[in-house]
Structure 1
Amino acid sequence: RLAIGVEPPDFTVVFIPDTQFMVMNNGYSGAWLDQWIAQADWVVDKQHELNIAAVVHVGDVVEEAHRSWEWDNFFQGWDKIEATGIPWSIVPGNHDLTSMAQPFASNRWDDYNKFIAPAFQRNLHLQSSFPQGKYENSVVFFEAAGLEFMVVGIELGPTQQSLDWASEQLHRHPGRRAIVNNHFVVWGAERGIDVVGWAKRHRNIFMIQQGHDCAREWNRVIYNDWGEPIQEILTDYQCSGDAFLRYYTFRVSEGRVDAFTFSPSQNRFETDFNSQWHFDFNFGDLPARTDPAARNRYRRAAGVGGGGGGGG
């Protein structure tokens, strides 16, 4: 906690969307490896200026998970980010599957784990992963401005066991504000998987971040079972060749979070309403998870902005 009378500093969380085309380095969709290296260099260069507290990769790290040279290209950039000591999270996307033809096979993350495991094993901010010794699901802690956060990384099309594990992590740390990192929340909906519905049952979740979709970006507010807002956000610029990333600057003294979309390789911001906006944020103590008064407020407001079950 900060000392009484000390003005809390602003801080930033950076989200890196699908890097798959950039690490192929063949110009597909206008993407090249130097764009990914520029993103990584930007994180390193801005670490102190923006007070970067965490870096989150939303999945589709590579185009074909078995290609070791794509992982080598990825780590040309990621090793730079890792060397800063900034807490980080990565989740697998559909292109990180061992076989996209068998997306729910028991060995579906074998290639992902083969290449990503050494980085996670060095990750000093990793608190837990599931299954044990594998990294398709993970929890990473970070702290900023006297506040405690956790990034809950959930595999694409999670099993019920994975969601139960994630629930346990959230229940163990009710005072940590939580970001859910999942490549695409509606993946597996036909199998009864409902990541958004699951998230609404956890009071400390304030953001769901995903990628995957060449729609590029959108954001909406959904509400948890206490009637409190969760920011559901999609960010993915892989198909446009301009190598944008997304970052959020938390303005503690102003009670809000500002969203920015920036391309390091082009040195420009995107400023339309889906790219640059802000939302209010509660920097005070989190209410108890089972606060009956809050539940009553939610019941009285039933039907107001409940949101749907997934992304578009």
Structure 2
Amino acid sequence: MKIEYYIIIFTVFCTLSCKTKDSFEFVVLPDTQTYMEEFPEVYINQMQWIATQEKRFSFVLHEGDITQNNSEKEWEIAREGFALIDGKVPYNLSLGNHDMGSETGKFADTRNTELANKYFVSSAYINQSNSIATFPKGAIDNNCAEYDIIGEKWLVFSLEFGPRNKTIEWANKLIENHPNHHVIVNTHSYMYNDNTLQDGEDWYLPQKYGVGKEIGENAVNHGGDLWEKLIKRNENVLMVFSGHILGSGVGQLVSKNDFKKDVYQMLANYQKNVKGVEKGDSGYLRIIKVDKKNQLITVKTYSPWLDKFNTDPEHEFIFNNVKM
């Protein structure tokens, strides 16, 4: 009887252990801006659900446009939501064009992120986010977290809207100093909804905002620029996540970097005015599973608010033969 008991325990332990070593999951939160403005209960519900899954998810990424109007009221709501997962699930925030500006309702006319840094104080954020570096120092505008998951080391970057030349230089140096880490890049503006990178005369380019008028080291970069200057030149960048774009609000792209390795790039945005989102209160988020053993990246789209998966092909899909 005792032998059978120990066999059962050993089998359960091995199953859980193998699962932990072979795969992991994390959450990608698309633009929550209209939730902050009109449907805060939907956002709070998202965060409550994540809190109940604390043993499941390795971290949470927010793609930016946390707020709609960069107002005290909206940042208070944002902080209330993330407080629900403090100490439970690490999170890394990208700041969007709606999260910066000279005053409420001014979207990226200047790179003023005072309110973001007021409600997410750098010293506390570093501990919560597993950050090993922020840029500028003492601010959350750009941050790099380090994780040790499935027997692999990871760097997770969350970069500002329209990353500046000096921001890209900072990120490149960190990646160069960690050549054996897999890298995930999370930034607000990168892909367009036609499955291409933002460039040329596309709508919503960072260059078309006030911050886009800067030059030199402060000059901004769109998706195509970021690919050329950061993503494709680093062999260990595996995934890129972004939001910002309306229309269908979704897109995916697999591109070869300079080392002939695939980079998996995804756009997701489920806010108000996105096609198929009637009121902007859908509450959809992305669940990403990285399966090292089977060489898969699985993407699912789920709404805790509706308790529903969106299984349409553009919202639920798998990348095969992922080399890690």
TM normalised by structure 2 equals 0.77
- Structure-2 separation of matches of 1:174 and 1:122: 24
Which of residues 28, 33, 55 in structure 2 aligns to 1:20?
A: 33
CA 101–19 in structure 1, closer or farther in 2 if over 3 Å, else same: closer
Is 2:136 the partner of 1:131?
A: yes
SS at match of 1:81: coil
Is 2:59 the partner of 1:59?
A: no
Partner in structure 1 of residue 228 of structure 2: 197
- Structure-1 separation of matches of 2:24 and 2:265: 20
- Structure-2 separation of matches of 1:213 and 1:262: 19
Which of residues 243, 246, 254 in structure 1 aligns to 2:286?
A: 246
Q: Would you say the 8 A contact 1:54–1:142 is kept in 2?
A: no
1:104 deviates by: 6.0
Partner in structure 2 of residue 38 of structure 1: 45
Instruction: Report % sequence identity.
Output: 25
**Unmatched segments (≥5 aa) in structure 1:** 27-31, 285-312
Q: Which moved more, 1:248-257 or 1:112-121?
A: 112-121
- Structure-2 separation of matches of 1:251 and 1:228: 17
Deviation string, structure 1 residues 59-78 (Cα, Å, up to 9, x no partner): 0111111x211111112211
Within-5 A mapping of 1:118-197: 119-123=124-128, 125-185=130-190, 186=198, 187-188=205-206, 193=221, 194-197=225-228
- Aligned amino acid, residue 59 of structure 2: A
- Aligned amino acid, residue 232 of structure 1: Q
- Structure-2 separation of matches of 1:250 and 1:121: 25
CA 209–129 in structure 1, closer or farther in 2 if over 3 Å, else same: same
CA 46–123 in structure 1, closer or farther in 2 if over 3 Å, else same: closer
1:232 deviates by: 1.3
Which of residues 249, 252, 255 in structure 2 aligns to 1:222?
A: 255
SS at match of 1:222: strand
1:109 deviates by: 2.1
TM normalised by structure 1 equals 0.80
- Aligned amino acid, residue 229 of structure 1: D
Q: Would you say the 8 A contact 1:203–1:226 is kept in 2?
A: yes
- Structure-2 separation of matches of 1:80 and 1:236: 23
- Structure-1 separation of matches of 2:22 and 2:163: 36
- Aligned amino acid, residue 217 of structure 1: V
**Unmatched segments (≥5 aa) in structure 2:** 1-13, 191-197, 199-204, 213-219
- Structure-2 separation of matches of 1:104 and 1:223: 34
CA RMSD, aligned part only? 2.1
Partner in structure 2 of residue 96 of structure 1: 99
1:207 deviates by: 0.9
| Structure 1 residue ranges (4+ consecutive) displaced by more than 6 angstroms after TM superposition | none
